[in-house]
């Protein structure tokens, strides 16, 4: 009978080698992805090989039990399949967190059935693999299949949803390591060269394990200390990035989602109230957010005092004759809010190409006060569009009236045309508060969340239909109309064949060209909307406010996500904004402003009471001759996303990646493309920007299905009819 010691002696060397050999195949691929220095190639190799060796240890333990207990082929395969639970259980826990994924059948029970289903599928597959390996040419056939599978898994892992589903990407690393290792093991067996029970193999495996553990320890403690190394890992790496994230999660001792290990940035891993991004408590000697600053800096006090002073100055100036003359004209005007989802500001820069491709958008800007340095508070529709409607950094928690509620209280009929996908992910309670009616435009009729056909024309049609119905029912009563164009958001999904009737045969296009094509499509519809307002005699009595909720990554920068969300680089948050007031002088405004400013600005123009919100009225920028103290003040503009937070304090922009412990500072006046990180320079600058961020209202971002339902309940609780 083979005892436990004999089984360990016989199996551990081969199984440990399986993990390490699989890791050896993956290391060069990861090195190529990371590029040369300053990428941490040594720590990356240690992390991959050390993790691969631990995978081999797990395989060795299970195989030792199978051999030692003399389990039969099927029971042995079942035990080996059960090993997958260690990887699939944590993945399944968060696999269906997304708002769409949470709606799929069985999503609520996914943490239970997904791991069990994977194990049950693996069970016969492992038994079949053993049977194939026992045949004469089976090892060659099985080895080839496993290596082909490794290539396929690696390709999928590195090209599909790179910035999403980190747990799943980590699982795919494990799969790659196992399939690569066993594939080479099969070739070794076929050639008669795979390690056997010789003592050299036994002791060599143990020594190798100690070396890899030492390498892991070095990588954990000092391998990722430099910001350049962390940036390389977070933007170019895949396996290294996922393993660092996993390691920080495992060694997060106080449960605050940050760790000191792997240069995670946690300055006190025994105190859950201290971590990067924590709220800094004023007037104490504790550094809550681990930025090296204790208490509230004088710069923060100055920012708060300056905001209060501006509010008083604005009140005094507003009572003057110049402002009174404008407000006397605008207070009874109609308001049309035109939102173009996913529109980047660089698309409407004044160039010959843009004027030729987007004549209606450019024409609207020519007639408006165009705010060329507008920043969205987030890179997702939920926070950004809700911020437009509330003026708040945390829009769902506000008890103040929304834009529609405030305008309805001023006697306006309120209506909106909103795509179904926007309502689904932002929440009906927030978007429809204060609306007398709304059209839910179905943009994904054939497959949920996949917009294969354009909806811009229907959006315009519904908006103009409201105007006709409104005039028939209420005559000249002023109105508020919000139309939300969604085609640009769907630039990667809309079938080009569905555009031929409008744009002709457009041929084959790359991603950036498809994006511009969708902007052209929306531009035509904005032109139709403006023409409709003119035909109905409303153009001279209607203010038009143009906004976009966020930008889009088009594959031009490895720091950007596949589309939008998660991060806050300018391609994602620099958006167009313009206010067109009939009879008012147009012009370009180069002051840095926020989308949150739309709310107080519109309410100022219609003489509605404005609550104390995070946004600030842009009324001084709309009237020539406003006093300098209302125009020249630099103020912090909020930036918040799931993976990054920051602030614009013109001309500087601070960005902090939470999980990667990465700080970036850019001088936007000289480097708007954010290529030169100044974070390693003047520490006073960094402290001042952190202090500026600390003066802003906090916000928690939870885009899971559970989080979305919770914020919808909060938004509903704040409705004016509750």
Confidence of residue 523 (pLDDT cuts 50, 70, 90): very high
| pLDDT > 90: percent of the chain | 40
Confidence of residue 52 (pLDDT cuts 50, 70, 90): confident
Cis peptide leading into 38, omega within 30 of 0? yes
What 3-state DSSP class applies to 372? strand
- What does the alpha-carbon distance between residue 186 and residue 178 come to, in Å, rounded to a whole number? 12
Q: What is the pLDDT of residue 479?
A: 95
Confidence of residue 210 (pLDDT cuts 50, 70, 90): low
Confidence of residue 722 (pLDDT cuts 50, 70, 90): very low
CATH match for 304-633 among 3.40.50.300, 3.40.50.1980, 3.40.50.1820, 3.40.720.10: 3.40.720.10
Is the pLDDT assigned to residue 719 strictly greater than 70?
Answer: no
C-beta of residue 195 within 8 angstroms of C-beta of residue 202 = no
Mean pLDDT over residues 690-704, rounded?
A: 85
Confidence of residue 622 (pLDDT cuts 50, 70, 90): very high
The CA distances from residue 64 to 30, 55, 206, in Å, are 31, 14, 16
574 bridge partner residues: 375
Q: What is the pLDDT of residue 527?
A: 97
Q: What is the pLDDT of residue 459?
A: 97
The string of pLDDT tens digits covering residues 336-386 is 999 999 999 999 999 999 999 999 999 999 999 999 999 999 999 999 999
C-beta of residue 454 within 8 angstroms of C-beta of residue 487 = yes
Class of residue 101 by CB neighbours under 10 A (exposed 0-12, middle 13-18, buried 19+): middle
C-beta of residue 488 within 8 angstroms of C-beta of residue 519 = yes
Is the pLDDT assigned to residue 456 strictly greater than 80?
Answer: yes
Q: What is the pLDDT of residue 7?
A: 39
What is the Cβ-side half-sphere exposure of residue 97, based on CA atoms within 13 angstroms? 16
Instruction: Kindly give the residue spans of alpha helices, DSSP state H, lying in 192-297.
Output: 199-222, 227-236, 239-250
The listed range with the strongest mean pLDDT (312-326, 497-511, 572-586) is 572-586
Q: What is the pLDDT of residue 628?
A: 84
What 3-state DSSP class applies to 682? coil
The string of pLDDT tens digits covering residues 157-202 is 988 888 778 888 999 999 999 999 888 888 887 777 655 555 444 4
Give the 3-state secondary structure of 553-567: CCCCCCCCCCCCCCC
DSSP character string of 14-51: HHHHHHHHHHHHHHHHHHHHH-STTS-HHHHHHHHHHH
Confidence of residue 220 (pLDDT cuts 50, 70, 90): low
DSSP character string of 625-666: T--HHHHS----EEEE-SSEEEEEETTEEEEEETTTTEEEEE
- What does the alpha-carbon distance between residue 93 and residue 87 come to, in Å, rounded to a whole number? 11
The CA distances from residue 414 to 402, 457, 603, 649, in Å, are 12, 21, 14, 35
C-beta of residue 665 within 8 angstroms of C-beta of residue 692 = no
| Confidence (pTM) | 0.85
**For residue 431, what are the contacts with CB-CB under 8 A and spacing of at least 6?**
385, 386, 389, 416, 418, 422, 423, 438
Confidence of residue 721 (pLDDT cuts 50, 70, 90): very low
Is the pLDDT assigned to residue 458 strictly greater than 80?
Answer: yes
- Tell the residue number behind the tokens 């920028």, with chain if given: 621
Is the pLDDT assigned to residue 153 strictly greater than 90?
Answer: yes
- What does the alpha-carbon distance between residue 464 and residue 470 come to, in Å, rounded to a whole number? 10
| pLDDT > 70: percent of the chain | 90
Mean pLDDT over residues 320-335, rounded?
A: 86
**Terminal alpha carbon distance of the chain:** 76
696 bridge partner residues: none
Of residues 148 and 624, the one with the higher pLDDT is 148
- What does the alpha-carbon distance between residue 408 and residue 403 come to, in Å, rounded to a whole number? 9
Q: What is the pLDDT of residue 204?
A: 55
What does the chain come to in residues?
A: 722
- Across the chain, mean pLDDT equals 85
Q: What is the pLDDT of residue 100?
A: 64
C-beta of residue 551 within 8 angstroms of C-beta of residue 344 = yes
Mean pLDDT over residues 67-92, rounded?
A: 87
- Tell the residue number behind the tokens 């800094």, with chain if given: 280
- What does the alpha-carbon distance between residue 425 and residue 421 come to, in Å, rounded to a whole number? 6
The string of pLDDT tens digits covering residues 549-575 is 999 999 888 888 888 989 999 999 999
The CA distances from residue 61 to 10, 16, 55, 67, 483, in Å, are 12, 10, 10, 10, 61
The CA distances from residue 289 to 150, 271, 666, in Å, are 42, 11, 21
Is the pLDDT assigned to residue 530 strictly greater than 50?
Answer: yes
Instruction: Write phi, then psi, for 297 (nearest 5 degrees).
Output: -70, 155
Mean pLDDT over residues 501-510, rounded?
A: 79
What is the b/e burial string over 49-71, where b = at least 16 CB atoms within 10 angstroms of the residue's CB? bbbbbbbbbbbbebbbbbbbeee
Confidence of residue 466 (pLDDT cuts 50, 70, 90): very high
Q: Mean pLDDT lowest for which of 45-49, 407-411, 642-646?
A: 45-49
Confidence of residue 9 (pLDDT cuts 50, 70, 90): very low
Is the pLDDT assigned to residue 2 strictly greater than 50?
Answer: no
- What does the alpha-carbon distance between residue 419 and residue 422 come to, in Å, rounded to a whole number? 5
DSSP character string of 432-491: HTT-SEEEEE-S-SSBTTB--S--HHHHHHHHHHHHHHHHHHHTT--EEEEEEE-TTTTT
User: Taking Cα atoms as reference points, which of 457, 463, 441, 530 lies closest to residue 499?
Assistant: 457
73 bridge partner residues: none
Q: What is the pLDDT of residue 243?
A: 87
- What does the alpha-carbon distance between residue 374 and residue 442 come to, in Å, rounded to a whole number? 29
Class of residue 501 by CB neighbours under 10 A (exposed 0-12, middle 13-18, buried 19+): exposed
Of residues 320 and 346, the one with the higher pLDDT is 346
Residue 92 tokens, joined? 């399944």
- Enumerate the CATH 3.40.720.10 domain ranges in the chain, comma separated: 304-633
């Amino acid at each position: 009978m083979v005892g436990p010691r004999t089984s360990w002696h016989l199996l551990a060397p081969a199984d440990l080698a399986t993990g390490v050999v699989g890791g050896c195949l993956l290391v060069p691929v990861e090195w190529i992805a990371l590029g040369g220095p300053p990428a941490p190639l040594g720590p990356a190799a240690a992390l991959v090989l050390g993790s691969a060796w631990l995978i081999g240890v797990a395989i060795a333990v299970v195989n030792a039990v199978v051999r030692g207990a003399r389990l039969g082929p099927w029971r042995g395969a079942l035990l080996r399949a059960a090993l997958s639970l260690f990887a699939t259980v944590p993945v399944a826990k968060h696999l269906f967190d997304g708002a769409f994924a949470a709606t799929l059948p069985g999503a609520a029970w996914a943490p239970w059935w997904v791991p069990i289903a994977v194990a049950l599928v693996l069970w016969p597959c492992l038994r079949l693999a053993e049977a194939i390996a026992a045949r004469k040419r089976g090892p060659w056939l099985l080895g080839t299949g496993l290596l082909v599978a490794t290539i396929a898994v690696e390709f999928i892992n590195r090209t599909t949803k790179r910035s999403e589903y980190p747990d799943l990407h980590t699982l795919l690393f494990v799969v790659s390591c196992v399939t690569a290792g066993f594939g080479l093991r099969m070739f070794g067996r076929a050639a008669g060269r795979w390690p056997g029970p010789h003592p050299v193999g036994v002791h060599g495996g143990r020594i190798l394990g100690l070396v890899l553990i030492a390498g892991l320890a070095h990588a954990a403690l000092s391998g990722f200390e430099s910001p350049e190394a962390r940036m390389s890992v977070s933007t170019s790496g895949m396996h290294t990035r996922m393993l660092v994230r996993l390691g920080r999660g495992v060694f997060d001792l106080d449960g605050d989602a940050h760790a000191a290990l792997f240069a995670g940035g946690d300055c006190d891993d025994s105190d859950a109230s201290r971590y990067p991004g924590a709220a800094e408590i004023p007037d104490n000697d504790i550094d809550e957010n681990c930025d090296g600053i204790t208490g509230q800096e004088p710069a923060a006090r100055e920012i708060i005092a300056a905001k209060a002073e501006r509010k008083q100055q604005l009140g005094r100036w507003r009572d003057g004759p110049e402002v009174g003359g404008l407000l006397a004209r605008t207070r009874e005007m109609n308001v049309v809010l035109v939102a173009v989802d996913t529109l980047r500001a660089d698309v409407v820069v004044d160039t010959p190409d843009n004027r030729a491709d987007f004549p209606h958008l450019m024409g609207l800007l020519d007639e408006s006060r165009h705010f060329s340095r507008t920043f969205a508070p987030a890179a997702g529709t939920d926070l950004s569009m809700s911020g437009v409607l509330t003026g708040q950094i945390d829009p769902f928690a506000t008890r103040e009236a929304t834009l529609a509620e405030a305008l309805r209280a001023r006697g306006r009929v309120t209506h909106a045309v909103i795509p179904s996908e926007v309502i689904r992910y932002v929440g009906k309670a927030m978007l429809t508060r204060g609306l007398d009616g709304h059209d839910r435009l179905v943009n994904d009729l054939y497959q949920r969340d996949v917009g294969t056909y354009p909806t811009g024309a229907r959006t315009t049609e519904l908006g103009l239909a409201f105007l006709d119905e409104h005039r028939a029912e209420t005559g000249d009563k002023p109105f508020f109309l919000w139309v939300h164009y969604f085609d640009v958001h769907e630039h990667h999904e809309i079938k080009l064949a569905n555009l031929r009737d409008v744009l002709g045969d457009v041929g084959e296009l790359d991603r950036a060209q498809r994006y511009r094509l969708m902007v052209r499509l929306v531009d035509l519809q904005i032109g139709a909307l403006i023409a409709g307002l003119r035909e109905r005699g409303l153009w001279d009595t209607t203010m038009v406010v143009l906004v976009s909720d966020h930008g889009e990554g088009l594959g031009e920068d490895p720091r950007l996500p596949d589309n939008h969300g998660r991060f806050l680089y300018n391609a994602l948050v620099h958006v167009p904004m313009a206010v067109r007031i009939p009879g008012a002088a147009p012009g370009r405004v180069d002051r840095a402003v926020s989308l949150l400013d739309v709310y107080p600005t519109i309410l100022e123009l219609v003489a509605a009471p404005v609550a104390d919100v995070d946004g600030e009225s842009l009324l001084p920028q709309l009237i020539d001759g406003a006093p300098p103290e209302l125009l020249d003040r630099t103020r912090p503009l909020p930036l918040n996303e799931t993976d990054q937070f920051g602030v614009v304090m013109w001309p500087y922009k601070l960005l902090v990646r939470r999980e990667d412990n990465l700080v970036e500072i850019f001088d936007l006046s000289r480097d708007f493309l954010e290529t030169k990180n100044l974070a390693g320079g003047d520490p006073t600058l960094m402290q001042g920007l952190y202090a500026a961020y600390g003066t802003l209202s906090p916000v928690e971002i939870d885009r899971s299905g559970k989080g979305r339902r919770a914020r919808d309940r909060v938004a509903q609780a704040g409705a004016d009819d509750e």
